[in-house]
């Protein structure tokens, strides 16, 4: 069954993606909850129009994204984590924590899905995350994991 997602769903797809799912999952969960609609010709036409409108909004915000990228260029943030005596961290550091640190330090709100980690941090130290503000604007951010 092909569906158009109305919002991002983990392990299924992102907003406005056309995905194939099992019929029961689509019919009994995604459609009734309002997470998706059937990918027929009418809905595909609406999707095309909606995607164009969103791209126009994103392009209008391009200058704002460039300013945000300049604000974090060459900067780093510290994130407090719990760790053992050897420096190995408990749990994991996710893009959600990096987004929260950016909001706290730079007063910049970024969607978590726009933050990509080059490697999964496992120990105290300095790591790099790539922030994809826009397809044309991305910037790297250094973040340091420190012991709480």
Looking at residues 86-112, what average pLDDT do you find? 89
- The residues facing 119 across adjacent strands are none
Looking at residues 78-104, what average pLDDT do you find? 89
62, pLDDT greater than 90: no
Scan for tokens 């790591």, then name that residue.
127
- Residue 4's pLDDT band, with cuts at 50, 70 and 90, is very high
- Residue 127's pLDDT band, with cuts at 50, 70 and 90, is very high
Q: What domains, with CATH codes, occur in the chain?
A: 2-60 (3.40.5.10), 65-147 (3.10.430.100)
Considering the entire predicted model, what is its pTM? 0.67
Helix, strand, coil shares, percent, the chain, to 5: 40, 30, 30
What pLDDT is attached to residue 130? 92
CA distances, 24 to each of 10, 14, 20, 84 (Å): 18, 20, 12, 45
* Rounded (10°) CA dihedral 56, 61, 62, 63: 140
61, pLDDT greater than 90: no
């Amino acid at each position: 069954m092909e569906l158009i997602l109305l919002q991002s769903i983990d392990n299924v797809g992102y907003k406005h993606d056309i995905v194939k799912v099992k019929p029961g999952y689509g019919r009994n969960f995604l459609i009734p909850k309002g997470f998706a609609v059937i990918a027929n010709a009418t809905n595909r036409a609406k999707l095309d129009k909606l995607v164009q409108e969103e791209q126009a909004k994103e392009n209008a915000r391009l200058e704002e994204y460039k300013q945000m990228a300049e604000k974090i260029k060459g900067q780093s943030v510290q994130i407090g984590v719990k760790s053992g005596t050897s420096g190995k961290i408990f749990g994991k550091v996710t893009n959600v924590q990096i987004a929260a640190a950016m909001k706290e330090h730079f007063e910049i709100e970024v969607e978590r899905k726009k933050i990509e980690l080059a490697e999964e941090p496992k120990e105290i130290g300095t790591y790099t995350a790539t922030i994809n503000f826009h397809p044309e604007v991305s910037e790297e951010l250094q973040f340091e994991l420190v012991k709480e």
